[in-house]
């Protein structure tokens, strides 16, 4: 078995794999023991741990003492990277691309988390970059933090009224419909640059936003975990 760990800005996610099959996954709190969520029987079967992290310290007590691969900018990936500032490139972006990578189609990976990232791969050429914008919660928080009277919206629903008739409904409309139009705009742009584009949506808000968007988008919340698992063979010593 393999244990994949994605330590990001919004928390630590894990996935337990048996070869290429994701058996189960979830979230860990900082400092929480791995034994609290994975049985000792399964822990004893883990042969490899693979992780990527934006944190300075991956503090997870009781990890099995097995081969641990840490994926960073110097790791091996299934495609060349042409990003002009690789030292600033979020490793989770490249890992998510690895999880969806195909040598037959161009890819647009949209990760809807704390921020919304857009990453484009030309299958015949490699990874070039994309775009970054604020995520749903970040937009709501910024409007609350940088104004005197706008409230913070903590609960929102699919397909809000476009014509807001209260301040709360205006905030919901502007944020949700703004993001949907933004995503559709990026899809249209990259589709115009490709003859065979495949679009993946991942991240914490992917299920919510997937219901708002056009069909033809592949929604997979576990793309980073699957990407990590797919990189084991390329990076084993």
CATH of the domain at 59: 3.30.420.40
Q: Give the ranges where the chain is alpha helix by DSSP (H).
A: 40-43, 91-100, 136-145, 167-192, 206-210, 223-230, 232-235
| 75 inside domain | no
Spatial distance between the Cα atoms of 72 and 58, rounded to a whole number of angstroms: 14
118 and 160 assigned to the same domain: yes
Q: Is the pLDDT of residue 9 over 80?
A: no
Strand partners, 228: none
60 and 175 assigned to the same domain: no
22 and 47 assigned to the same domain: yes
38 and 121 assigned to the same domain: no
At residue 237, the pLDDT reads: 67
130 and 214 assigned to the same domain: yes
At residue 3, the pLDDT reads: 94
Q: Which domain holds residue 191?
A: 86-224
Cβ atoms of 97 and 107 closer than 8 Å: yes
| 163 inside domain | yes
Q: Is the pLDDT of residue 138 over 80?
A: yes
93 and 56 assigned to the same domain: no
109 and 185 assigned to the same domain: yes
Q: What is the mean pLDDT of residues 142-161?
A: 91
213 and 99 assigned to the same domain: yes
At residue 41, the pLDDT reads: 87
At residue 215, the pLDDT reads: 72
Last residue of a domain, one of 22, 45, 70: 70
User: At which residue do the structure tokens 């709360």 appear?
Assistant: 168
Tell me the per-residue pLDDT of 213-236, one tens digit each, with 9 for 90 and over: 877 899 999 999 999 999 998 998
Q: What is the pTM of this model?
A: 0.90
Active-site entry in 18, 57, 92, 191: 92
Q: Please enumerate in sequence order all residues whose Cβ is within 8 A of that of 178, keeping only pairs 6 or more positions apart, or say none.
A: 139
| 158 inside domain | yes
Residue 119 known to be catalytic: no
In the chain, the number of structural domains is 2
| 160 inside domain | yes
36 DSSP assignment: G
98 and 178 assigned to the same domain: yes
């Amino acid at each position: 078995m393999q244990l994949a760990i994605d330590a990001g800005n919004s928390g630590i996610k894990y996935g337990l794999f048996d070869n290429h099959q994701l058996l189960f996954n979830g979230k860990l709190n900082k400092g929480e023991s791995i034994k609290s969520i994975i049985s000792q029987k399964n822990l004893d079967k883990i042969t490899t741990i693979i992780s990527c992290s934006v944190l300075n310290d991956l503090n997870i007590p009781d990890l099995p003492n097995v081969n641990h691969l840490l994926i960073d900018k110097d790791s091996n990936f299934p495609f060349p990277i042409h990003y002009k500032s690789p030292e600033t490139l979020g490793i989770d972006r490249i890992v998510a691309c690895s999880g969806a990578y195909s040598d037959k189609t161009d890819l647009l990976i949209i990760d809807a988390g704390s921020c919304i990232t857009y990453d484009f791969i030309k299958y015949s050429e490699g990874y070039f970059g994309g775009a970054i914008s604020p995520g749903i919660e970040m937009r709501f928080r910024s409007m609350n933090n940088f104004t005197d009277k706008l409230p913070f919206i903590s609960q929102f629903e699919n397909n809000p009224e476009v014509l807001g008739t209260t301040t709360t409904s205006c905030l919901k409309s502007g944020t949700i419909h703004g993001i949907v139009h933004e995503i559709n705009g990026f899809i249209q742009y990259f589709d115009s640059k490709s003859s065979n584009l495949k679009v993946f949506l991942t991240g914490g808000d992917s299920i919510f936003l997937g219901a708002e968007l056009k069909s033809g988008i592949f929604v997979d919340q576990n793309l980073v975990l699957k990407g990590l698992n797919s990189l084991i063979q390329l990076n084993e010593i």
